Every structure is written in C-alpha cells, then in structure tokens.
Amino acid sequence: MSPRLVPARDDSVRRTDRPLTVTVDGTPVPGVAGQTLAGVLLAAGRTAWRTGRGGAPRGVFCGIGVCFDCLVTVNGERDVRACMRRARDGDAVTTQSRASAAPDAPGSAPDAPGSAPAPTPAPAPAPEQP
Amino acid sequence: MKRRTVVVVGAGPAGLAAADGALAAGADVVLIDSADRPGGQYHRMLPQAYEARAPEAVQHGYSAFEKRVRRVLGHPRCSWWAGAEVWALERTDGAEAEAGTRPLATAHPEPATTAHPEPPATAPAEPAGARRTGPPTAPPRPEHAPPLKVHVLTPAPEPGAPRRRHVLEPDALVIATGAHDRVLPFPGWELPGVVTAGAAQALAKGERLAIGDRVVVAGTGPFLLPVAVSLLEAGSTVTEVVEAAGRARAARGWLDRPWELAAQGGKGGELAGLTGALARHRVPYRFGRAVVAARGDGRVEEVVTAAVRADWSVVPGTGRTTAVDALCVGHGFTPRLELAVAAGCALRPGPSGAPADVFVDVDDEQATSVPGVFACGEITGIAGAPAARTEGALAGWLAGGGSPYARPVAALRRSRDQGRAFARRLARAHPVGAEWHGWLRPDTVVCRCEETDFASVCAAAGDPASGEARVAKLATRAGLGPCQGRVCGPTVAELRHRLGAGEHPVDPAGHPVDPAGPGPHHRPVAVPIRLGELARPPEPPAGEHPEQPHRPAQSYLPVEESGP
Ligand SMILES: Cc1cc2nc3c(=O)[nH]c(=O)nc-3n(C[C@H](O)[C@H](O)[C@H](O)COP(=O)(O)OP(=O)(O)OC[C@H]3O[C@@H](n4cnc5c(N)ncnc54)[C@H](O)[C@@H]3O)c2cc1C
Ligand code: FES
C-alpha cells in the first residue's frame, strides 16, 4: 500500500472531498470527485491494472496521456487512458490485457490508437475525454 | 470589418501567453487544450470538483497565472475550448508534410467548412450557446492565411455520446503543445511504481496524490528538484535525488553567469526555494549517479544506483540498492511535435545533435517555415515556463496581426533570446551521456508497448536485411504499439545510430528523413480518434444550426469574478 491521496484535512490547498464509487472488474472502489480514474485506482492502492503483451502488470507511467500504459475499459468503451479521464460516480471499469492479442499482425493490437478499435459495442460509447 | 482569427493549440504557459498576445493585437482567438483546465504542465490546476480554497499553496507564481487566466478566458474575443483535442492538421496547399503525410481529406470526405470563432461573449458565466450574436459570416480567407485545416474533437455534450468533430481554418495558427518526459530504459523500468518524473508531479500537483511513501527521484536536469519538493509536500519520504550529471558540470551550468538565470523571470529565486526545501528535509542530492536497475515482484521494491562517469558509463563496484515503493525518473524532455510536423514546419537539430533531438525551427518572430504558422514554448527548445511565456507572447502578438515594430516587441525579443541562451545552458549542463546503453541487458525492455528487448534491437541493427528503420520497425515492432513510439522513439533512434544502423533513416512511409526531419515524430494522427468519430461529419459552422452551437461549453471560468 503506497500511493495515497493527501488527507483532505491536512491538505494545504484546502480542498473539499465529495466521495464517489467506481467498480473495477465488479469490485467497488471508492474515490473522490475530480480524481482521474488512474488517481482513484492508485489512491485505492492499486499500482497495476493492465497486462502487457508478455503478461507483465502495468499501471501509470507518463501520467499525461502519452504512453498508453494505463488503458482501461470504461462503461464498455475500450482503450480509455485512465490518467486522462475524470472518474464519474458509478463508472464501470474493466481491466485490459494485451497478453491474448494476436502478436504478429500489425495493427491487431486491441489497444492501438489511431487504428481505432471497432466501433464500440452497446451501450452507447462514451468518448475518451480528460 | 472582419477581424483576424487565431487558433492557439495548447493552454500551457506558452499557449496562454500567445492567446493573451493575440487578443492584445485585436484578433479573435480560439484557445484549445486537451485538458479541462488551462495551465499546461507548469501551472497544472487542481480539478474543479476539489473546490480548493488555497490552490496557490502548490503553485509557483499562482497569482500572476490566475490573473492571466481571468483576462484571457474571460475576454469577449476569446473562445476557450476545454478538453478538446486537435487530432490532425490537414494541408490544403497540395504539398505533403516533409515525411509524406497522406492528405487526410482522402480518408474522410467532408463538406468545406469555414468555422470561425464566436463574436463577443457578453458574460463568460452564461451557458454556451446563449452567447452567439450576429449572423454567421464566412469572409474570404486572406492570402497569408496558413494553408491548413485544423481538425478538432470536442467533448461530447452528454456522457455516452460521441465526441464532436470540428474543422477550423484560421488566419494564423499558434502551436504550443509542450513536451513530455524522456525516460531512458533500464532493467525493470516497466515495473508498476516506476513512473516518469512528470507523472509524479502531475499527480501531486494536479490531484494531490503522493505516488509512494519511500521514493527515489532520478535522471537528469533541474526538473528533478520541483518533483522532489512536490513529493515531500505531499507527504512522501524522498530517500534521495540521483542526478547523472557530475556536480562540477551541473554547477558550471547553473552557477556560471547568474544574470541569465535571474533574467528567467524568478527562476533563480525558485531554485533557491527548491534547494532550501530539500535541505530542510535532509534529502541527499547525489550527482554523478544514475538508476541502473529497478527490481520487484509485480511492482518496484528496490532500485539500484551506481556512480557514472561524464559519458554515463557505470563505474564498476559502485552499485548500491535502496528499498522504495516508487521510483520517479526523467532524462529530459521530448517535444510534442506531431502537429508541427503535420503542418509541414521545418525542424532543426537540438543542442545535443542526437538523431531524435529536434525542435521546431522558428525565426526571430516565432514564425515557422509555414506561412501563418507560429510555434512557441517547449516545442522550440526546453527552457522552462518563463521562456515559454515570452515566446508565447511574441508569437501571439505577431500571429494576431500586431506590429513587429511595436515597443514591447523589442523587449520581448531580448527576453526570448535570453530564454534561448538559458536553453543552451540547460542542455550543456545536463546532456544525456553517450554510454547510457551500458546499463541495458539483452532482455531489457526498450519499447514498453511491444516489449521489444535490447537484444532484438541490436539484432535488427546488425542485420543488413533489416538495416532500414522501417524494416527494423516491422521486424522488432518497436514503436508500433499504442504509444506510436512516443516513449521509445528517441531511444530506438539513438540506439540504432550508435549501433551503426540508421545513417539514412526513413520514416514509416519509406521517405528518407534528414537529420532535422521529423523522424520518429511523424504521426499523421496526433491523438487517438475512434472510427465512429471519424465517420461523423464535422459540425457545421456556427449559426447554421442554432440548436448545435459551434462553441463548446466553457468548462473553466474564474469562479469569483465572472465579468470580463
Ligand atoms: C508532466 C510534466 C510536469 C511538469 N511540471 C513542471 C513543474 O512543476 N515545474 C516546472 O518548472 N516545469 C514543469 N514541467 C516542464 C514544463 O514542460 C515547462 O516548464 C512548461 O510547462 C512548458 O510550457 P509549454 O506551454 O511549452 O507547454 P505545456 O505546459 O506542456 O503545455 C502544452 C499544452 O498543450 C496541450 N496539448 C498538447 N497537444 C495537444 C493537442 N493535440 N490538442 C490539444 N491540446 C494539446 C497539453 O494538454 C498542454 O496543456 C513539467 C513537464 C511535464 C511533462
Ligand atoms: S499513464 Fe501514460 S497514458 Fe496514462
């Protein structure tokens, strides 16, 4: 257990915490309104939520939307950068794995951006937005 | 009379100053940033939902920043597009960007739209859509306008809906997209808990999250200082700061010619404050050492540091292991050049001369090689926020049609030149040593996305059949994963260079790339876009569909003062 939110009561920025809950693979995880999904996951003590091609765990690396290490599925929408998306109460987060991806076909990686994943299945796709 | 329209991409120190400058010059401004609050990396703001009553507690120079944000975002001629991403720049002059950009128009037919910013907003607190006044007009584009269409995605109007597409054709474009951390690979850098220095900073400053209890901050450059101090402030124990540059070299770089530092708008004072904070917390600052490995079972548990020589070769027998639960690393910055490259802007080699160390080439007036396109901030050189602001002010003023002979321009130019001198000094004080690859093992991951290891990169470089960068890329998959080489690109380019391959590098389309060419920065799609979003036609210009205001919601406005 190491990453953690600065406790609101001693935070020099004098913030207000309004709690929210997201689910991660079905398990409720508490967070605070304003946090990114990466922030919620980290503050809950999870440093990894994705597996790379070889099955190794991954979490946040760049923190600003550049490295794509932190990808998750949110409310059915794949490949959302957890560090760029603010958590909303009730968000259903599912973790992703590249381990099962067909390794050799270029562009076949399920989370390759630009090559855009197949149009997102129902329910309506939520956009990736910070 | 039709006013000049300026689109500014990026609302960091450079982009905000550019918007301010263009407004001062009398232009209409559209300020676009993918973040939902302005400030960029240096002035990363807390989420609005935190309702922080003392945000200045974690920000250097907050009051001047706040004032500027109020002035710019509350300005009646400024449209602030929060959470909006410029995903492509399309050239309309028939020319292709240096590295062979496919004209995007062929990928998605769309009606010609000349969107332009809204007329004056009356009160910034009004809901979007209520502020459009006057009939829409589509004035003829002036001759000197950049031959570009700016493709933007704006947030969905409600959760679950697709984002909206827009196409802008401004009279001038200012690119201020900043930089991201560069991290050199080492064994174990892919372990969870190893993050970039910028990530630790962004989480601490932007969300009040401390990345770990016991943290080592490592790499090179003065940026390690604010990162360590932010971590201390958030309650972490920083066990040490490990700077690969030697003490003498860094001291020469920093303490020589202090007037240059003083000219950088308070950088000297900021530095003193930061070093004072480290001293109070008794954090050792070790020069001439580098993190050469991270270890742990499923997450980082310990780091191995070693003394390194000036060329970053490891001094045998100096290894030391430290227990940590997080490691923050940064070996300088890589400019975010996708948009500049897509616009066709010429690049120039950076101070190190390394193959991937390139920046946007700008002239005395921050103009790029493409008419009507200006660049400012870290994409033109790494010199910190004050230099970025000066360049932005200059770029914005001139992009907005301000006179190059106006009195403040000369002072801005002087200050910009000091900024450039500062950038050269920084680069001299903290060069990446040539022998860093000595800490790689054959199985060390080089490309994080594709898990390409060092041995594969070596094998591809040594094999004449895959001697070309493009072939090597397909053979090793390095750079073909989700990040499209943003993280490993400079590293792979440098390794191939050192291994004797890649003297005549080619881009993914097979075009030869000159040393000042875009190389690994060539990405026709700058940010991810979904096929569904691509398939939607762009939103029509303002006024044609009153129920669909072109202007996206303003999601940040000064809370206390709502008037311009
Ligand atoms: C993560 C991180 C944290 C940093 N923190 C500090 C710090 O605390 N102290 C310090 O002295 N220096 C810090 N730096 C260094 C910092 O980069 C500069 O000092 C300064 O912020 C540069 O200003 P800029 O305006 O050039 O770029 P930035 O501040 O990086 O601003 C660029 C802006 O462009 C936006 N953008 C980029 N691409 C697009 C696109 N396609 N569409 C829309 N918007 C886009 C980004 O969201 C960003 O807001 C940090 C750097 C990084 C990478
Ligand atoms: S951590 Fe790099 S994209 Fe989110």
Tens digits of residue pLDDT in B158-193: 877 888 899 999 999 999 999 999 999 999 999 999
Q: Which residues in chain A touch residue B233, judged by CB atoms under 8 angstroms apart? A: 12
Which candidate from B34, B199, B534 shows the least CB-CB separation from A61? B199
Ligand nearest to the CA of A59: 2
Cα Rg of chain A (Å, integer): 15
Strand partners, B534: none
pTM for the structure as a whole = 0.85
How many DSSP H helices and E strands does chain A contain? 1, 9
Average pLDDT (B450-457) is 90
The number of C-beta contacts closer than 8 angstroms across A and B is 219
Among A61, A62, A64, name the best residue to mutate to test ligand 1's pocket (greatest count of ligand atoms within 8 A of Cβ).
Answer: A64
Average pLDDT (A26-53) is 96
Q: In 3D, which of A57, B49, B516 has the Cα closest to residue A49?
A: A57
Please, what is the Cα angle at A43 between A42 and A44, to 5 degrees? 90
* pLDDT at res. B261: 61
pLDDT higher than threshold 70 for residue B563: no
- Atom 27 in ligand 1: residue holding the nearest Cα: B178
pLDDT higher than threshold 60 for residue B138: no
- Sheet of A77-81: strand order equals A27-32, A19-24, A92-94, A71-74, A77-81
Tens digits of residue pLDDT in B74-123: 999 999 999 999 999 998 876 654 433 333 222 222 322 323 322 222 22
Find residues 48-107 of chain A whose CB sits inside 8 Å of chain B.
48, 52-54, 56-69, 71, 75, 79, 83-84, 86, 88, 106
Question: How far away is chain A from the Cα of B448, in angstroms, using its nearest Cα?
Answer: 8
Q: In 3D, which of B416, B545, B482, B564 has the Cα closest to residue B73?
A: B564
Beta carbons within 8 Å of A113's beta carbon, 6+ residues apart: A68, A79, B482, B484, B525, B527, B528
CB-based contact B41 A12, cutoff 8 Å: no
For ligand 2, what atom is nearest to the CA of residue A60? 1
Tens digits of residue pLDDT in B393-452: 999 999 999 999 998 899 999 999 988 888 888 888 888 998 999 999 999 999 999 899
DSSP-assigned states of every residue in B192-259: TTEEEHHHHHHHHHHH-EES-SEEEEEEESTTHHHHHHHHHHTT-EEEEEEESS-HHHHHHHHHSSHH
Ligand nearest to the CA of A69: 2
> In the structure, which protein residues have their CB atom closer than 6 angstroms to any atom of ligand 1?
A 64; B 9-15, 32-35, 40-42, 85-86, 176-181, 198, 201-202, 223, 226, 336, 339, 377-378, 384-385, 388, 526-527
CB-based contact A128 B194, cutoff 8 Å: no
For ligand 1, what atom is nearest to the CA of residue B378? 26
Does the C-beta of A48 come closer than 6 Å to ligand 2? no
